[in-house]
Structure 1
Amino acid sequence: MPWYAVEALDDALDATKSLLTPLDVRQWLKLALVVFFLGSGGGSGPSFSAGGSTGTPSDGPGTTPGPGQFDVPAEFGDVLPILLGLVAVGLLVGLLYVLVGAVMEFVFVESLRRQHVRIRDYAGQHFGRALQLFVFRVALGLLVVVPALALVASVVGLATGGLELSLGLLVGLIPLVVLFGLLVAAIDAFTANFVVPVMIQKNVGVLGGWRRFWPTLTREWKQFGVYALVRVVLAFAAGLVSSVVGGIVGALLVAPVAVVGVLGVSLVGGLDAVLGSPLALTALVVVVLAYVLLLVAVLAVVFVPIQTYLRYHALLVLGDADRDFDLIPELRREIRESG
């Protein structure tokens, strides 16, 4: 019995070449913009973290913190509203990123299907379905965020003296968070790689897409199991490339950012002065975020062929598993007849 995921390895490479060659800089940059919002390409989105602080009223200025209690400096109390504001802004930006990423999932698949990138046209065509995908991903994320917040609360409980109760929660929540994280990652990856094409092909929403895809998944579970194993290997290889290229690009970009940071800290009066000044601390955070965004943008350009290959590979596997879901029948036939 042929394994679709193995047979599609060479075909995905040929499909990638057919889209990206000859080099079209404008189309490549458009794809880089799409890839920027796809994140790691496995159907993953940005992660969110939340934290809280608890305090107890002081008995007086000379009170010494008891065991497991934290003495929060006055300077930190002054900066705390700024930090909370930054967390709120970060959460909003993260949600916007996930929303745009959901739109770009459809733009990417349509671009590979039609071998021409039209971001605005494809985004408008599939915005309703993308909105459903966004809500679906947020709901999936809550399955991890809620136990993760409980895990954070148990760690805080350990630090503040509620040892017995929080330790039991900690022991139980760690495997739960890991299990939910793996499950959510798998569901999101299959949604992006297989359900989104079904949604496009059958003109249905995300739940309708899963209902259409589920019989194929259960019938061809061995094929999709092999695909998952092959995808892990491909992801490992892509991770190695990411580490090498990211290290090189990061090193090249960090120099000017470091110079700006050192000069800025020196002008303000040192790191202590930066931490004590809400304005300076905000400026430092903006510089760091600008560096991260620039790094990700450059890497997006580099990783266009990798993401294109991985998604073509998934489309080929899906079409082999069920011809009714094949978005690229002509390209498939052309590649396999020439091979």
Structure 2
Amino acid sequence: MAVFKTLTDAGGLTKQYLSALGAGGWLKLGVVVLFLGGSGLTSQFTGLPIGPETVSDPSELWAAAGVIAAGLLIIGAFGYIAAVLEFVFVDSLRSRSLSLRLYIRSNLGAGVRLLLFRVGVWLASIAVVAVPVAWTVFVGDVTTPAEVTPTQVIGIGLTAVVALFGLTTVNTLTTLFVVPVMLHEQRGALSGWRRFVDAAAANKLGVLATVLLAWLIGFILWAVLTIVGFVIGIVGVFGIVLGGSALTELSSAFEPLIVGAFVAGLIAYQYVVSLVVAPVRSYVRYYALVVLGDAEPRLDLIPTQREAVESDNGVAEAGGDTTASRKPAASGDDPETED
């Protein structure tokens, strides 16, 4: 019953939130969700030829180092924007409004603290995987990948799975619970985590249900959007190839225009997806806020909103019981009947 009530309350809160935002607010919310969905830039900087056997010229080595540094700066910039917008999102859920300029300005410092925490978690996960790798190389006296035994591969693989699971769990809990705690009580990331752990002790099942719900919804969205994106991608690429071929035959000056159209189309698609996903993201966040408030009333960011939703749900339930209340009571159940 408690889980069903939380699901119902989160649904009512999401409905009221989107109604309060209106069309203009929903469009701005799409921008927030777009950045929270990840920039996807990390895959662009993997596998760069920076080994000594591939880069012998010092100038080429410096060029490769410059590309890597630029890539890390871009990733860091997008990571910082996403960290700030985490607080903007929660601020918007709490106030049922979305003032991007105001909320961004007020959460710049919190974004830095969250970004540093996330970087630390990533480095810790990498270090966990690096331990068996280093053990294999130095203790196992492995010099080439061909010398790695199946047992060593399994050990490294299991360690990577554990590290990935831990990374995902920490990031999920941080996003759903620690960020609201940091915002509500003006805490740092580590202090917010300690406060959350103390509060979660009173509602462990609720926290577990929230994490599982977030993962389940995330997997469903990933599966659906992957299929839709694949179909739209094929159609879009086919159209760009045909149109681009026709334009380039007329003049090579159209090539930058074709590239620009491709980039604009990709960004537009991601933004439309963000608009569609925004209500689902809002629902999961509200679910987490309800669980957090139930675990520790002093961490309830939305007490007034919850009271209004629970009142509406109570009225609806009372309305549903009207028919039953009008049925004549049995003689044994009549409170006015005396034996």
Please tell me whether the aligned partners of residues 238 and 306 of structure 1 are also in contact (alpha carbons under 8 angstroms): no
**1:107 correspondence with 2:88:** yes
Residue 216 of structure 2, aligned match among 233, 242, 250: 233
Please tell me whether the aligned partners of residues 37 and 100 of structure 1 are also in contact (alpha carbons under 8 angstroms): yes
Q: Encode CA deviations 1:104-138: one digit per residue, 9 max, x unaligned.
A: 00000000110000111111112111110000011
In 2, Cα distance between equivalents of 1:325 and 1:45: 33
Percent identity of the aligned residues? Answer: 31
Question: Structure 1 stretch 236-245 or stretch 298-307: which is displaced more?
Answer: 236-245
Please tell me whether the aligned partners of residues 46 and 98 of structure 1 are also in contact (alpha carbons under 8 angstroms): no
Q: Encode CA deviations 1:254-285: one digit per residue, 9 max, x unaligned.
A: 3444346656998999xxxxxxxxxx9x9999
The code of the aligned residue for 1:189 comes to T
Q: Compare relative contact order (CA 8 Å, sep 6+) and give the higher one, 1 or 2.
A: 1
Question: Structure 1 stretch 80-89 or stretch 233-242: which is displaced more?
Answer: 80-89
**1:12 correspondence with 2:2:** no
CA, structure 1 residues 251+17, in 2 after alignment: closer, same or farther (shift >3 Å)? farther
Q: Show the counterpart of 1:142.
A: 123
Question: Structure 1 stretch 193-202 or stretch 138-147: which is displaced more?
Answer: 138-147
CA shift at 1:184, angstroms? 0.9
CA, structure 1 residues 328+208, in 2 after alignment: closer, same or farther (shift >3 Å)? same
The code of the aligned residue for 2:17 comes to L
In 2, Cα distance between equivalents of 1:34 and 1:205: 22
CA shift at 1:324, angstroms? 1.1
**1:331 correspondence with 2:329:** no
**1:221 correspondence with 2:217:** no
Residue 103 of structure 2, aligned match among 110, 117, 122: 122
Question: Structure 1 stretch 327-336 or stretch 21-30: which is displaced more?
Answer: 21-30
The code of the aligned residue for 1:34 comes to V
In 1, Cα distance between equivalents of 2:40 and 2:166: 14
CA shift at 1:312, angstroms? 1.2
CA, structure 1 residues 32+161, in 2 after alignment: closer, same or farther (shift >3 Å)? same
The code of the aligned residue for 1:108 comes to F
CA, structure 1 residues 22+200, in 2 after alignment: closer, same or farther (shift >3 Å)? closer
Q: Encode CA deviations 1:179-201: one digit per residue, 9 max, x unaligned.
A: 11110111111111101111111
In 1, Cα distance between equivalents of 2:224 and 2:154: 36
Residue 21 of structure 1, aligned match among 19, 22, 30: 19
Please tell me whether the aligned partners of residues 246 and 299 of structure 1 are also in contact (alpha carbons under 8 angstroms): no
Unaligned runs of 5+ in 1: 57-71, 73-77, 270-279
Q: CA RMSD in A?
A: 4.2
**1:50 correspondence with 2:24:** no
CA shift at 1:211, angstroms? 1.4
In 2, Cα distance between equivalents of 1:289 and 1:152: 39
Q: Encode CA deviations 1:231-275: one digit per residue, 9 max, x unaligned.
A: 333333333443354345545543444346656998999xxxxxx
In 2, Cα distance between equivalents of 1:166 and 1:50: 25
Please tell me whether the aligned partners of residues 103 and 123 of structure 1 are also in contact (alpha carbons under 8 angstroms): yes
Paired residues, number: 303
In 2, Cα distance between equivalents of 1:124 and 1:260: 43
CA shift at 1:141, angstroms? 1.5
In 2, Cα distance between equivalents of 1:45 and 1:190: 22
Q: Aligned to 2:201, what secondary structure does the other structure show? A: helix
Q: Encode CA deviations 1:296-337: one digit per residue, 9 max, x unaligned.
A: 222112211111111111111111222111111111110111
Q: Aligned to 1:303, what secondary structure does the other structure show? A: helix
Look at both structures and tell me which one has the larger radius of gyration over its CA atoms: 2
